[in-house]
Structure 1
Amino acid sequence: MSFHGKGRWKAAPEACRYGASKLAFRGPKRSLTNEYVAFLGGTETYGKFVSRPFAQGIEAATGVACVNLGQPNAGIDVMLGDPGLTRIASGAAAVVLQVPCAANLSNPFYKVHSRRNDRFLRAEAPLRALFPEVDFTEFSFTRHMLMHLHTVSAERFDDVRQGLKQAWSDGMRRLIAEIRAPVILLWCSERDLDRDDDRVEARCEPVLVGREMVVALQRHAVAFVEAGKVARDGQGVGFHPPYAAGGERDAPRDLPGQAAHDAVAEALIPVLAGVLDP
């Protein structure tokens, strides 16, 4: 996805909390009393560096309350680790679940931070045994660590890749099962779902996730929307280097700009309409 415009977005979004969840979310806060749609995901769902995330655009267009539960850098661990979050999602008329990457989750090879899932905490015994020459104390972020492992040995890295994909598939099935509401899977990325799912570079987000993995989940969801393709094919929606607000001058990867968020909203609206009013 992309940024649009050359200025910096400086307005800090209002923070709010819902129910028993321990997390702070992007506001404005919405009532959970009447019908609402919940949006779960990472930095793109949160809407970093844009004034109107796609959840807010959908609400403006449809009049249905849209609760933005996105968390910057969130992976499966954030969502599964907060029962209050899945409880809020379960109370929704529908849930839009952004497909997360397969690198930012705890797995048999390594552990990640419970809230900032892109943060690498420690290597487990199987990973240390697989890469005995690597000093894992040098790494703070999962992608940096994985890129280094691939450089050391592409052959051995394949064992890690397969383990991560399996952990992702297991975690996603569990997450969808815990959400007792219709789930719409959202592919929100400039990467084509059929390409580069074996790579861990920033441009390949969500890394290590390919079509076969998503297709395997579709029987657990009511719909799947490839919004990245919509944004790429839309008029005037291209991909540009990221810019950042305040001191965050080096955003870690391309993020959707306002035009891309609007394109994602347009792609989701008819699908949501079919789920809310079949």
Structure 2
Amino acid sequence: MSMKARYVTAKEIKEYKPEELIKFLKKNLNFDGVDLENLEIIREQEVSGRSFLNLTHESYGRWGMPSGLACSIANFAKKCKKKKLDPRKLLTKHGVENGRIIDMPQFTPKIHKIDDKDDYFLHCLKDIHLRLNNMGTIDESNETICCEYISTILHACIHITRKLTGKNISIYPQFDGKNAGRVNYVINASEKLICVTGGKQHQIDIEFAQNVTQCNSAYKTNQKKRKAEEKHDYIFGIVTTTTAWLLF
């Protein structure tokens, strides 16, 4: 019984329900000559993805699964448990060689001139100045302090964009996304997720890889909610160190 090549992280597998787990096993294991009815044990015992990663072949055996199949699934689970997000592989997939994030094709937003006397713009500048006085510069800051400045900039941008477009836009910090883990900020427009933002002062390549995964998960969520006549088939991602911003 051999494995087919398909890379899924342990973090993703943990979210699987029994039905999803069975489909995952069928795609990734060669069941030639095996009675697939035996996989129904997974559904009957309500084995989730999280349980799957920790179960032994003895556990499956006690439920009546044949020893050969039980050993194959348990051994496969051990390998899956070690699978973590590989930033370099993900970056290479998106055309970024040797971890050079600057090579990533960026989204170029349409430029809107902001009045120098705009209340939200002035408030943002005052808030940044206040934080600089209280916390100092961000060169050696940790992620929490980095996000303090990012939050100020994002809130001002959302207020200004809402005024320019008339759209209902909102922001949610520390958002837990399904299958994507916690993200620093999520921006919604008309109840649709349009942006996931990460704040990292260091290891921006890892943050970018995580952000791509989060955007992919959010895109799938949007697709489920999208009506047939709607053409919203994209999602934006932002990775920033506060002083540098990457939009894609």
| Higher relative contact order structure (alpha carbons within 8 Å, sequence separation ≥ 6) | 1
TM-score by length of structure 2 reads 0.30
**What is the TM-score with the length of structure 1 in the denominator?**
0.28
Greater fraction of residues in helix: 2
Q: Which of these two proteins has the greater Rg computed from alpha carbons?
A: 2
